[in-house]
Amino acid sequence: MRLQLLNEDITFREELRAFLADNLDPDVAEKVRFGYPISREEQDAWTRKLNAKGWAAPNWPVEVGGPGWSMVRRHIFDIEMKLHHAPELQGFGFSMVGPAIIKYGTEDQKSYYLPKILNADISWCQGYSEPGAGSDLASVSTRAVVDGDDYVVTGSKIWTSAAERADHIFMLVRTDPDAKPQLGISFLLADMRDPAVRVEPLMAFNGKRLWNQVFFD
Ligand SMILES: Cc1cc2nc3c(=O)[nH]c(=O)nc-3n(C[C@H](O)[C@H](O)[C@H](O)COP(=O)(O)OP(=O)(O)OC[C@H]3O[C@@H](n4cnc5c(N)ncnc54)[C@H](O)[C@@H]3O)c2cc1C
């Protein structure tokens, strides 16, 4: 079998290469190439350049900002990004919480969160693990109880990467304690700047914070 790109896909690849030549900061590409961390500012600047071109979320549907590419184009995009050492976009927003909001969110949630994810105006951390719940998430015990228009959350999350700089968290919380352990769990979004949220460092290496514990007091 001989696989060949269509002419329009070759043109698309040339457009991509020209975009990368014009927009990808060589210092950032050098860091990515050698596995050095890039700053949040560098990460956000790259996300915004892709978003301005309509290319930030190849895996999202067109209605919410995806580019509507074929699988071949997505593949070409991925290869060119890797070949040119472009930073990967923040997986929490683009691959985890974004698709969940697209599938299950209300229209208000979609119009509030999705443009902010696309333009790096919001950053996330992931609150799944707990001191008593690792691989077995059916043991999640952080509670969320409805109180008027709010959820009141009590408990803590552990191994929470990037919690020290995220402004939002998506987390698994127990909302129905009477259901069997695998049920009664909800996916909740919360603002990390809420005064009830406390972040404590857990582990650091070479001065860089690796993990946190997040408390809901
Ligand atoms: C780099 C890094 C970043 C992380 N960032 C986050 C984050 O941002 N947010 C977050 O929520 N979590 C995060 N985690 C936590 C991670 O996703 C896991 O939930 C956690 O490491 C596993 O929980 P535990 O340490 O309690 O181990 P346990 O769940 O107790 O597992 C211990 C060992 O037992 C094995 N094991 C467990 N259950 C079974 C089974 N049924 N059968 C056979 N073997 C089993 C496991 O494979 C493992 O080897 C991060 C972890 C790492 C390493």
> Is pLDDT of 208 > 80?
no
| CA–centroid distance, residue 130 to ligand 1 (Å) | 10
Six-digit token pair at 27?
A: 């210092």
Mean local confidence (pLDDT), 25-48:
96
State in Å: Cα 138 to ligand 1 middle.
13
Q: Compute the distance between CA of residue 125 and CA of residue 189 in angstroms, rounded to an integer.
A: 10
Residue 206, pLDDT above cutoff 80:
no
Residue pLDDT, tens place only, 157-190: 999 999 999 999 999 999 999 999 999 999 999 9
Q: Report how far residue 192's alpha carbon sits from residue 194's, in angstroms, rounded to the nearest whole number.
A: 5
CA distance 139 to 147: 24
Q: How far apart are CA 129 and CA 127, in angstroms?
A: 6
Q: What is the pLDDT of residue 203?
A: 79
pLDDT score at 50 = 98
Count of all residues that appear for the chain in the document: 217
CATH topology of domain 7-118: Butyryl-Coa Dehydrogenase, subunit A; domain 1 (1.10.540)
Which pLDDT does position 207 carry in this prediction? Answer: 75
Which DSSP string do the residues of 115-135 spell out, in sequence order?
A: HHHHTT---EEEE--BTTBSS
The pLDDT mean for the chain works out to: 95
CATH 2.40.110.10 occupies which residues in the chain? 124-216
Asked if residue 38 lies in contact with residue 28, where contact means CB atoms within 8 angstroms, the answer is: yes
Per-residue model confidence (pLDDT) at position 90: 87
Q: CB within 6 Å of ligand 1 — which residues?
A: 125-129, 134-136, 159-161
pLDDT score at 9: 96
What is the CATH topology of the domain spanning 124-216?
Answer: Butyryl-CoA Dehydrogenase, subunit A; domain 2 (2.40.110)
Contact 98, 60 (CB under 8 A): yes
The yes-or-no verdict on residue 12 having pLDDT over 90 is: yes
User: Which residues on adjacent β-strands are paired with residue 168?
Assistant: 124, 191
**Ligand 1 atom nearest residue 129's Cα:** 11
Best mutation site among 159, 168, 173, 182 for ligand 1 pocket (most ligand atoms within 8 Å of CB): 159
111-144: pLDDT as tens digits: 999 999 999 999 999 999 999 999 999 999 999 9
Query: Could you tell me the distance, in angstroms and rounded to a whole number, from the CA of residue 26 to the centre of ligand 1?
Result: 36
Is residue 55 helix, strand or coil?
Answer: coil
| C-alpha 192 to ligand 1 mean position (Å) | 23
Structure confidence by residue, pLDDT tens digits, 37-51 = 899 999 999 999 999
User: Is residue 204's pLDDT more than 80?
Assistant: no
Q: Whose CA is nearest to atom 13 of ligand 1?
A: 159
Q: What is the pTM of this model?
A: 0.91
Q: What percent of the chain has pLDDT over 70?
A: 100
Atom number in ligand 1 closest to CA 162: 8
Provide, rounded to the nearest whole percent, the portion of the chain with pLDDT above 90.
Answer: 91
What is the mean predicted confidence (pLDDT) over 57-71? 96
